[in-house]
Amino acid sequence: MVDTIVFLVAAVICLTGALGVILARNPVHSALMLVMTLFGIAVQFVSQEAHFLAAVQVIVYAGAIVVLFLFVIMLLGVDTAQNLEIGALPAQKWAALCFGVGSLALTGYIILAVDNPVTGRPGMGGAIDETANVRLLARSLFSNYVYAFELTSLLLVIAVIGAVVLARKPVKQLPEEAGR
Amino acid sequence: MEALLAFTRPPLDWHALAPELTLLAVGTILTLVDIIWDEKSKQVMPTLAGVGLLAGLVPILTLALDGTDRAMFGGAYMVDDFALVMKALFLIVGYIIVLMSVDYIRDGDYYENEYYTLMLTSLLGMLMMASSRDLISVFVALELLSIPAYMMAAWRKGGRRSNEAGLKYYLMGVFASAIMLYGMSLIYGLTGSTSFSSIASAMALNDGVTAMSILGVLFVLIGFAFKVSAVPFHNWAPDTYEGAPTPVTAFLAVASKAAGMVALIQLVFVAFDNHEVIQPFFWLIAALTMTVGNLIALRQTNIVRLLAYSGIAQGGFMLVPFAVAGQASERALQAIVIYLIIYAFMNLGAFSVVLAVSRKTRSGELESFGGLFQYAPGLAVAMTIFLAALAGIPPAGGWFAKFGLFRALLDAGGAWAATLGVVVAINTVIAFAYYARVLGQMWFQPIHEGDERPIKLTSALGSALVIALVATMAFGILPGLVGHFGEVAVLSTLGR
């Protein structure tokens, strides 16, 4: 019963998003709709007990790839300023609210359905077994691969530093430099 | 809940990690100093970075004196003599490059502080590479050393050439990484493990020669062939080397290439046992790299480009012993390690001279070396020694490196090794032709643009030059020095 409801809700989210990608006239909207579809798919993964895939779906696709899309689109210059007051239909705000509350409820359900790591209480969906993907993955990530894992964080930091330095426009001649 | 508590932290050997942690700490200190003192800190940055690199040598010395092999994380991270030799090499090379960078980066309109942070991070990746005995560690190490290097290649932000250099390097590097990852996933799928020793035993069980394992192995090797700019995966190198700031070029040509070689050494000598696939691959690549690199170098008129192609060709020489990795593994490994060490110093020396000369002439063309002997005899003599070393003429260091190659080939024996030996010999002669052109410019040509002002050597660049010169000569006259490191490295790697 619960499974069916989750499936239906997620399916609606997926399809709405997918339609939105095609129908939206603004490429930024299309990209955002794609995020919605990917989130829906992530929920489907969770309901299939593929927790790791769900996490990767959110982190890699929704988090990284679509954000990259957005960057590219914005770099290419979709900068027509939009007046939020005019375009919005009155119903839109309510629809947004409903979707927001709905997503929150869904998240809450997922938290309840799986094991609670703080209280140790098994969720409604039954206890997670020891051999679950996420747990095994976490274990190897923090034992055999911990060194590579930690250094990856350094890699990301340094990539950000370098990218900022390379992308930054020299705003003005710094006073110290001008004096030399 | 009990399951959560049951997790125990993997044992950490802080002593073994000390060299990397030192670099990490110095990098953090650089960033902090930069944030706190901002522009005022520019003066101390290179000093801090240099001292930090030398400080990293201390734990390496104590580890070497201790002498026990340390394995961590289920064998994914090994600190043995091979790793220590290579780490020491990376740190010293890094120190020399910091010396070379000081004035270049200060004079140009560059971001100074981030430059040194990026370089330290890249070196950290190289240290990690020397210890990695696991596909994942190798990959992370490769990215850690490459990504800062991509950005350093584009450090001359205003210049189109530098932008081109960074972009080309980045795109080709990412492409290579993708191919390599594909290969790694094939190997993992096949053997069910990422650790080198398990891969070796799993491949031995399966006879090692299936279509999938061949594909996997070749893809991984091709990924690193990009890194060491082996022909036909070399097209990024000349443009990147020419466009990047010259100290960065030296960094790429020496440190980055050495790191790629270190990875190849570990893959070929520890992980992949199927030599019937690897040897012909390396035979072909080594012969191509030497020949193409040398032939194109003959036609270059820009000194940095010439050194770039010479570096490609030297990389080819270094790949030669891989082609006999099966028959004469000991000699082959020794030859590569020795070649790497000697190549690092002679090539850094040549780049230092180029830097010193171009500081005055503001030109990278070969003619700018015209008549160098008449107004800067010291530099001309130093350059002569470095070029002689690169060409393999005793008593400068390079001859011993080439000698090692021939010894490995002779040990292996057989028609294939003999043909490769002939290719090496022919290429040594071709290489001499273009090194001689530079020599001719310096000694016999008229002074470039009649500008006879002497070259002022800054103290940092001078020290870099002296270190490289002393090392190059020492390795040539007392080859036992570097030979010892080679032997030490061999014992630990093959004593699995």
Residue-wise pLDDT tens digits, B351-379: 999 988 888 877 778 888 888 888 888 88
Q: What is the ipTM of this complex?
A: 0.82
List all residues of chain A from 98 to 127 with a beta carbon under 8 Å from chain B: 117, 120
CA-to-CA separations, A36 to A2, A56, B126, B238, B291, in angstroms, rounded: 21, 15, 41, 45, 55
Q: Does A151 touch chain B (CB under 8 A)?
A: yes
The answer to the question of residue B397 being in a domain is: yes
What is the DSSP secondary-structure string of B422-489? HHHHHHHHHHHHHHHHHHHHHHHSPPGGG--PPPPPPHHHHHHHHHHHHHHHHHHH-HHHHHHHHHHH
Kindly report each contact of residues B4-8 with a partner whose C-beta sits within 8 Å and lies 24 or more positions away, as own/partner. B4/A117, B7/A139, B7/A142, B7/A143
- Beta strands B70-72 and B77-79 are antiparallel
| Residues B309 and B297 sit within 8 Å (Cβ to Cβ) | yes
Give the rounded distance of the alpha carbon of B120 from its chain centre. 15
Sign, CA torsion B104/B108/B114/B119: negative
Report CB contact under 8 Å: B124, A151.
Answer: yes
The answer to the question of residue B409 being in a domain is: yes
- Residue ranges for chain A with pLDDT beneath 70: 77-88, 110-133, 169-180
d(CA B336, CA A130): 47
Residue indicated by tokens 């014992």: B491
Mean pLDDT along residues B327-347: 88
Nearest by CB to A165, from B4, B114, B141: name it: B114
Q: Does B6 touch chain A (CB under 8 A)?
A: no
| B399-456 pLDDT per residue, tens | 888 888 888 888 888 888 888 999 999 999 999 988 998 888 888 888 877 777 778 8
Owning domain of residue B424: 277-496
What is the pTM (predicted TM-score) of this model? 0.83
Is the pLDDT assigned to residue B214 strictly greater than 80? yes
Higher-pLDDT residue of B253 and A137 is B253
| Residues A54 and A43 sit within 8 Å (Cβ to Cβ) | yes
Non-local CB neighbours of B142 within 8 Å, separated by 6+ positions: B125, B129, B177, B180, B224, B227, B259, B263
pLDDT value for B90? 94
Report CB contact under 8 Å: A161, B118.
Answer: yes
Structural domains counted in chain B: 1
d(CA B303, CA B307): 6
Mean pLDDT along residues B153-164: 84
d(CA B112, CA B157): 12
Comparing CA positions, the residue from B24, B55, B115, B93 lying closest to residue B255 is B93
Nearest by CB to B111, from A148, A155, A165: name it: A165
> What is the least distance, in Å, from the CA of A138 to any CA of chain B?
10
* DSSP-derived secondary structure letter, B371: T
The answer to the question of residue B360 being in a domain is: yes
Predicted confidence band at B496 (pLDDT cuts at 50, 70, 90)? very low
Mean pLDDT along residues B229-243: 87
d(CA A145, CA A143): 6
pLDDT value for A176? 46
What is the DSSP secondary-structure string of B216-260? HHHHHHHHHHHHTT-TTS-THHHHHHHHS-HHHHHHIIIIIHHHH
Is the pLDDT assigned to residue B166 strictly greater than 50? yes
The answer to the question of residue B354 being in a domain is: yes
The 3-class secondary structure across A11-22, one letter per residue, is: HHHHHHHHHHHH
Mean pLDDT along residues B314-341: 88
Q: Which of A59-73, B155-169, B171-185 reaches the highest mean pLDDT?
A: B171-185
Nearest by CB to A161, from B117, B150, B166: name it: B117
Architecture of domain A1-78+103-121: Up-down Bundle (1.20)
> Chain B residue closest to A129 (CA)?
B3
B-chain residues within 8 Å CB-CB of A159? 147
Percent above pLDDT 70 for chain B: 97
Report CB contact under 8 Å: B117, A120.
Answer: no
pLDDT value for A113? 65
d(CA A164, CA A127): 45
Mean pLDDT along residues B127-152: 91
d(CA B353, CA B345): 12
Mean pLDDT along residues B222-231: 90
Please count the residue pairs, one from chain A and one from chain B, whose beta carbons lie less than 8 angstroms apart: 83
d(CA B93, CA B85): 12
The answer to the question of residue B72 being in a domain is: no
